[in-house]
Amino acid sequence: MATLLLPILFATSHALSAPAPATAPAPKRVAVVGAGWGGLGAAKALAAQGVEVTVLDAGQPLVEMTTESGKPFDLGQRGFWKDYPNLNALGDELGLDPYTDFTESSFFGPEGLEATAPVFSGSMELPSPLGQVFASFDRFKRLPLADRASIAGLLYAMVDLNRTPETFAKYDRMSAHELFRTMRVSERLVEDFLKPTLLVGLFKPPEELSAAVTMELLYFYALAHQTAFDVRWLKKGTVQSTLVQPFAESLEATGLVTIKGGCFVASLDYDGDRVASVTYKEGEAAHTLDVDGVVLALGSTGMKNVMRGSPELAKKAGDLSLAASLDAIDVVAVRIWLDGVVDTDTPVGVLSRFEELRGAGGTFFLLDQLQKDHLDELWAGSTADNGARGSVLSCDFYNAGAIAPLSDDAIVSLLMDTLLPRAYPAFGKVGVADACVRRFPKAVSWFSPGSFSKRPPLATSVPNVVCAGDWVRMGDREHGAKGLCQERALVSGYEACNELAARGVLGKQATEVAVLPVRDDEVAYTTGARVNGAVQGALDRVGLGSFWVR
């Protein structure tokens, strides 16, 4: 019996004498303020590092936006371009098949159809910009060839733009309108094509936009590759219901991410040289969350509110205070359910040069064409009074400060009685079964001349605070165009996590999260940039480099 007990006795005595195993370190805790693509991207990357993440958002990221009658509604229609590798990979990871095929788009002015943007991948692929020229040669209905050719000066500006940081800053201080004049772009090309494109791409006219960000937008979406402008849309639901909710639910399923809607961050509490806690309000109750790090995934309006409530941080972090000084753009979003079907040449239209737009850019989308297999969802199970399910329109106004004061009925009438019948007369022959108008003041980043240096840096001056979002300056971690871009916003969230890891905020075991790169620049661009760099570099030394910007 004693022999049988020896192993047990030995094991017991060994256990009693052995040192206690080391206690695992407590997981790091990070607050993410904002649940857009940047915030959720940061939460995903942080959770992969074993970090406990609390996402705080003033809205309701887990609740689909609907109208009073229960129909789906979105804060503007958003396109998904060809060069969105990380957003596409996220959809694959979530098992989603959310997108339509790439579609054509039509541009309309007071005289009717101005141009149709083709699906460039449907044409023989050629080096950029030759491919774009040949694919769209016969797609302009009114713009003379000589005016189209005047864009050549901008091609050189795109090659010169990123030559040095100082050169980029000079372009940023210049308005796009000033650059267009300097580069001899024809007034008609500006008014009939470039201005309408910018009003729905960066949501401001060229005289109110940074030339640098404008060139980045035009290059990334139109000239980097023949197929760069190819765009698709959601074939079901809204961005919230089809993409954001599944993404958010997958994050919560990790057990490391908590997403709290209806929470307003009151202050970031500064202690020593870092933020030690976040105070937020949920209803009437105030809560304090102790943190190791913070990701600010906010626009300028949210940044203003947070910095206003954080005077000590504002005093220490001039870069964040500068970001809070920037302005933003008003958006008006409209959905209209019709009692009859309107056939259109393309499912997407851009409205421009109408006096009735009051300086805004306008777009309209035929959701019954883009989401034709989900009409019951579009109508929330209902029909028009005549029993029909007609066309469903999503219409957006950008730079909409002069549209927003109109009544809901006046805005619907502006579309149905004035603007849309000028594009397709059939809109004047159908009735409105239901409509919803919503205003979003100061909702979108404004890339004004000289604003780049004031935009929030991804790596802030506070050791444990980083920023995410498409308006963030990403430094060595740049990705895509430096303007409005869902892909860039998502990647900025990944890179915000990487920056916290590099700063040691996440602990010694933290590693870099991989980011899929966009396509390489084509040889014509890289060769042009290299030659231009050599020539302008020599001219710089005698004070003549890029003399058209200052």
Mean pLDDT of all residues in 182-195: 96
Q: Tell me how many degrees the CA angle 77-296-518 measures, rounded to the nearest 5.
A: 55
Residues 56, 306: Cα–Cα separation, whole Å? 12
Contacts of 254 (CB under 8 A, 6+ apart): 47
Please tell me the predicted confidence (pLDDT) of residue 543.
85
> Which pLDDT belongs to residue 547?
83
Confidence of residue 321 (pLDDT cuts 50, 70, 90): very high
**What's the confidence (pLDDT) of residue 22?**
55
What's the whole-number mean pLDDT along residues 363-371?
98
H helices, E strands: number in the chain? 22, 17
State whether residue 278 is helix, strand or coil: strand
**DSSP at 206:** G
* 8-state DSSP, 304: H
Q: In percent, how much of the chain has pLDDT > 90?
A: 88
Q: Whole-angstrom Cα distance, residue 406 to residue 398? A: 14
Residues 11 and 401: their CA atoms lie apart, in Å, by 78
pLDDT of res. 207: 98
Structural tokens at position 83: 């060069």
Separation of alpha carbons 547 and 543, rounded Å: 8
Least confident of 14-23, 446-455, 513-522: 14-23
Q: Which residue has the higher pLDDT, 268 or 220?
A: 268
* Residues 108, 351 contacting (CB under 8 angstroms): yes
Rg (alpha carbons) of the chain, rounded to whole number? 26
Report how far residue 327's alpha carbon sits from residue 310's, in angstroms, rounded to the nearest whole number: 19
- Compute the mean pLDDT over every residue in the chain, rounded to the nearest whole number: 93
> What mean pLDDT do residues 71-93 have?
95
pLDDT (average), residues 487-510: 96
CB environment 373-392: b (16+ within 10 A), e (fewer)? ebeeebbeeeebeeeebbbb
DSSP 260: E
CATH of domain 29-61+261-327+447-503: 3.50.50.60
Instruction: Give mean pLDDT, residues 139-145.
Output: 95
For position 2, what pLDDT does the model report? 38
* Start-to-end Cα distance in the chain: 95
Q: What is the pTM of this model?
A: 0.93
pLDDT in the model for residue 62: 86
Residue pair 280/286 in contact by the 8 Å Cβ criterion = yes
DSSP string, 59-92: S-TTS--B-TTS-B--SS---EETT-HHHHHHHH
CA geometry: angle 313, 319, 325, nearest 5 deg: 90
Higher pLDDT, 292 or 7: 292
Contact between 546 and 170 under an 8 Å Cβ cutoff? The reply is: yes
Confidence (pLDDT) at 300: 95
In this structure, are residues 235 and 98 in contact, taking their beta carbons and an 8 Å threshold? Answer: yes
d(CA 494, CA 42): 5
pLDDT of residue 449: 98
CA distances from 96 to 91, 232, 245 (A): 5, 15, 12
One-letter amino acid for residue 518 of the chain: V
- Look at residue 25 in the predicted model and tell me its pLDDT: 78
Highest mean pLDDT among 126-135, 414-423, 521-530: 414-423
- pLDDT tens string 464-481: 999 999 999 999 999 987
User: What's the CA gap between 152 and 165, in Å, rounded?
Assistant: 23
Contact 213, 483 (CB under 8 A): yes
- Give per-residue pLDDT as tens, 2-53: 333 333 323 333 333 445 455 667 899 999 999 999 999 999 999 999 999 9
Q: What is the pLDDT of residues 413-429, one digit of tens each?
A: 999 999 999 999 999 99
**pLDDT confidence of residue 3:** 37
